[in-house]
Every structure is written in structure tokens, then in C-alpha cells.
Structure 1
Amino acid sequence: MKRQSRLDAPVRYWDEDLPKQADDQKAPPQLIRVNEINDVWMEIPRYVNYGWGGLWFMAIISLCCLSFFLLSSHFISDMFYDVSSFIFNFLLLSPLYIAVIFCFRSVLFEPRGAPVRFNRKRQKVYVYEYQRSVWPWKRWPVVIKVFDWADIQGERMQLAGHADWGHRIYCAVCKPGTYEVVDRFVLAWTVGNLRDANSLWSHCCHYMEARPVPKNPLLTDKPADWTPFRTVRWPSDVERESTTATGMM
């Protein structure tokens, strides 16, 4: 019998629905990484573990190609003596300009470990999202999404690509009392070990259901970030709300 998701519009490359929050879980609770965990709130970093080195490689290659074309052509002289040639060369090289700016902006300004906060007392989940655009000159805003824990369903997808292989956990946000998905967010980027992926979801469920959980994560190191110009900064009102119990502001 073909397996089918209980959700209306499951995630792409869906492999299975994870147990509901109060149900028995597939694995014992265990965090992979954690920024903070206490009796009120928990913050989990989401380190992108694929494509980061590739962005640096593409940025350097694009910059080298752009420099080569500028130095090996009559671009500079055309700029002063032939307006039409300047415009043609500028348009011809515009994809390289975009690629250089996009790649360097991504690796230098985009936080790699955008976190998720779980507030056990409020039964809320706070998601820190950095919205990247394909156009590097546009504003890339930070958006904070707040969801009710009761509306979240866990999903696991499986990837078999060369650069991105393993299991990824998504949280599908549904309309209250239904399985109609209205939003979703990544809980963990690709994890090679299925047990670790299931244990992360199990830990979130145990924590939010006020069950005992271990506080020590599997990993304590921080992957290379290379974002000296941008760090994770929660808005002050969200910072207060997401780290305090109901009624405490």
C-alpha cells in the first residue's frame, strides 16, 4: 500500500509524517545543536550545511572572470571614447556583476545559523527568517514568524543529491484543527543520520510537552559562518516575548 501524508500539500520530496506532539516518538529526545535551553524557552540554530563553500567558490570565480574580461578587453577605453560599446560591454557582463554581488552578499551578510525559538510557557514557536532575493541590490529583510505549537506538524523529507544528501526536518503550519498547510519552515537542514533527525523532532515535542529532555546537544562546535557584517538580532519586543512566560513582559 502506497504511503500517503496526512497533510494537505506535503513538502516536496516528502518521505514520512512525524509523530504528533503528544504521541510516542520514533527516537529518544536529543538535540543536535542548541544556543540556549531552560525551563521557559529553547533556541535551536539552523546551520546551512550545503552550498556554503560553493558560494565562496562561485564568488571568487565570478570575480576573477569579471576582472579578466575588464582587463583583457577595450572596456576601459570604450568607456571614454565609445558610448555604444560601453553600453554593450556593460550589458554583456551584467550577469557576472549580478553573480559577484549575489555570492559575496550571501556569504558575508546572510546569517548561516538562523534560529528557531520554542517557548514552552506560551506554547509559541518563533522563527527567524532571512529572506534572500535573486536580485542582490534589493533589500533582504529579516522576518520573524510566530506560530502556535498546536498548529505544527512534523515532516521528514529525504534527499539523494550529490551535494545535499540525507534527511531534512520541516515543520508544517496548519490551520487550527485541520491538516491544511498554510506555511512551513525548516527545523533542521540535511542530517545524514536518520536517528539524529528523528531525535531532534522528538526533543522539540518532549520539551514543549513538558517532558524530561537532555540539555546537552550532540555537537557543541559552531560551523564557519563568515558573516562579519550581520548577526542574528531579534527585535526587542520579540526578544522579550519569546524569552518570558505568559504575562511577563
Structure 2
Amino acid sequence: MSGPALVPPCPGWKEDLPGPCDSTLLQPNLGNQTPNHQDDIYLEIPRSAMAYRGVVSALTLLYLIWALSDLPWMINHTDLTDLESVLLLGFMYALYSWSSIILFRADLAPPRDLPIRFNRARHKIYAYNFKHQWWNPFDKGKVVPVSYEWSQVRAERWSRTSPLKWGVTLSIVVPGTNNVIDRFPLVTMGADQYAWAYICTYMQQGPSALPPPGEHKDHNDLLWYEIALRLAPKVNWPADMDLESRTAP
């Protein structure tokens, strides 16, 4: 296998996938996902900030209840006249608080969906990205929508063993070079290179070359028990980008 073509390669690089105008021998497939929208003008696919939204919040709440219920016992068994013991207790509960806030933010701060739109008519890609500093409990994060020419997009397959994860990253290059100027995930632990084949087939040949999609799902149409998603921000594209990404020139 030859080495990575892009500079720099994505972390955990395993393989460069075919370019945006190259043919692919893989069967187009989005796995268990269905497009948010698909017609002759644009394709929108969903992305999730993490799998099983709400599980982390629920476990964090149980962890916090346990830590607080244990506080009276810890105080009773701490020598409050010993400065070192008091500082150790304070540090322990500061660490509990810091980790709890980080875990809650990781689950609740990202938007309900992080869609990517592929506009055939304009030959452009529009990504609804979310940026945040995971270690900073005061950082709420922010949405950073971006738009690039389809010809600038490259795809890389990656994997790592600790923890076990895999996926496909989209990299944006300076035109005419392999120098990466932006990078964001396409899929994580999902259809991988088959999802990229689906997108390339759509952009090159149109929706008629793809298997009929399942029923489209609105990312704001939630089930009653999806509490974490209800608390998460709604998807809100900038008005100009929203209109451009859904229409032909």
C-alpha cells in the first residue's frame, strides 16, 4: 500500500479513498442512515456528534448523585484541622465537578444534527460543523458552517485501536495541491468508504444512479424519550448559505 497523499494525513490514516471525480467499484451505501434530503439539486446527509445521545448525560447524572451522596461520609472521615486533608477533599470534588460539566457539555452542547450538503448544481459542499474545546468546562462551543468547491474535497479512511474507532474524514485541499486547509468527519463507525461511494455516485451521476432512499428524517422531529436531543440546539444554517446550498445557480 502506498503512503498518504495529503499533507498532513489525517490522524490514524489507513487509506486514501478515490477522488471526487474518480470512479469507485464499491456499492453506494449509507448503512443504517437515510439522507435528510435527496433530489436532483442537492443531497443532505446527517452526522451525529456522538452515538447514543443521552446515555452520557444519564450516566453522568448517576455519577454526580453518587459523588454528592458520598460527601457527608467523606467530610466525617476527613480531619478538618489538617490542611492537606482538606485540600485533598476539595481537589477531589473539584475534579468531580469538572468532569461532570465536561461530560454534560459533550452530550448536550452539539446541535441535534451536523448535516453536510452536496450540491450537484453548484458543484459545492456545505458542512454544518461544530467546534469546541472538550477540556474547557466554560466553552459552550460554536457552529462553524463552511463551504468549499467539490473539486477540493478528498476522503481518507482512518482507524485507531485505543479506543477502538474508525471512520472517514473529509479533507479540503488548496486547489492544485495536496495541502490540507480544513478537515472534518464524514462518518464515524458507520458505512465508511461505502458512504463516500454513495456521495461520489450522487455528485457524478445523480440520484437516479442510487438505490431509492428510505423515508427522509427531519432532525427536529424527535421521539418523546430523546431528552438529550431536545435539550440540544436546533440546526440553524446561516440564511444565505441555507438558500445557496439548496438551490441551483
Match of 1:208 among 203, 207, 210: 203
The aligned counterpart of 1:19 is 18
**What is the one-letter code of the residue matched to 2:120?**
R
The aligned counterpart of 1:182 is 181
| Superposed CA offset, 1:124-171 (max 9, x none) | 11111122222222231111111111111111113345x634x41111
Partner Cα distance (1:147, 1:97) in 2:
40
Partner Cα distance (1:61, 1:113) in 2:
26
Partner Cα distance (1:160, 1:218) in 2:
33
Paired residue total = 236
| Superposed CA offset, 1:3-49 (max 9, x none) | 21121211121111111122220313233321111111111111355
The aligned counterpart of 1:140 is 141
Match of 1:199 among 172, 184, 194: 194
**What is the one-letter code of the residue matched to 1:62?**
Y
The aligned counterpart of 1:81 is none
Q: Report the TM-score when normalising by structure 2.
A: 0.79
1:93/1:219 Cα in 2 relative to 1: closer, same or farther (>3 Å)?
A: farther
Alignment map for 1:3-42 (pairs within 5 Å) = 3-32=2-31, 33=33, 34-42=35-43
1:96 is aligned to 2:91: no
The aligned counterpart of 2:229 is 227
Q: Secondary structure at the match of 1:98?
A: helix
Partner Cα distance (2:23, 2:92) in 1:
59
Gaps of 5+ in 1: 76-84
The aligned counterpart of 1:164 is 164
130-139 or 169-178: bigger deviation: 130-139
8 Å contact from structure 1 (residues 50, 164) kept in 2 = no
8 Å contact from structure 2 (residues 122, 248) kept in 1 = yes
Cα-Cα RMSD: 3.4
Alpha-carbon offset, residue 219 of structure 1 = 9.1
| Superposed CA offset, 1:59-118 (max 9, x none) | 13431243134333449xxxxxxxxx9887555421111122222233233235311111
Q: Secondary structure at the match of 1:154?
A: strand
Q: Percent identity?
A: 27
Partner Cα distance (1:116, 1:215) in 2:
20
1:22/1:138 Cα in 2 relative to 1: closer, same or farther (>3 Å)?
A: closer
1:156/1:218 Cα in 2 relative to 1: closer, same or farther (>3 Å)?
A: farther
1:103/1:216 Cα in 2 relative to 1: closer, same or farther (>3 Å)?
A: farther
Alpha-carbon offset, residue 210 of structure 1 = 3.7
The aligned counterpart of 1:239 is 242
| Superposed CA offset, 1:191-241 (max 9, x none) | 3xxxx4222111211222244432534797889672212222212222111
Q: Secondary structure at the match of 1:227?
A: helix
| Superposed CA offset, 1:169-190 (max 9, x none) | 1111111111111111111111
**What is the one-letter code of the residue matched to 1:117?**
R
Q: Report the TM-score when normalising by structure 1.
A: 0.79
1:219/1:5 Cα in 2 relative to 1: closer, same or farther (>3 Å)?
A: farther
**What is the one-letter code of the residue matched to 1:202?**
A
8 Å contact from structure 2 (residues 50, 107) kept in 1 = no
**What is the one-letter code of the residue matched to 2:194?**
S
Gaps of 5+ in 2: 77-84
8 Å contact from structure 1 (residues 58, 103) kept in 2 = no
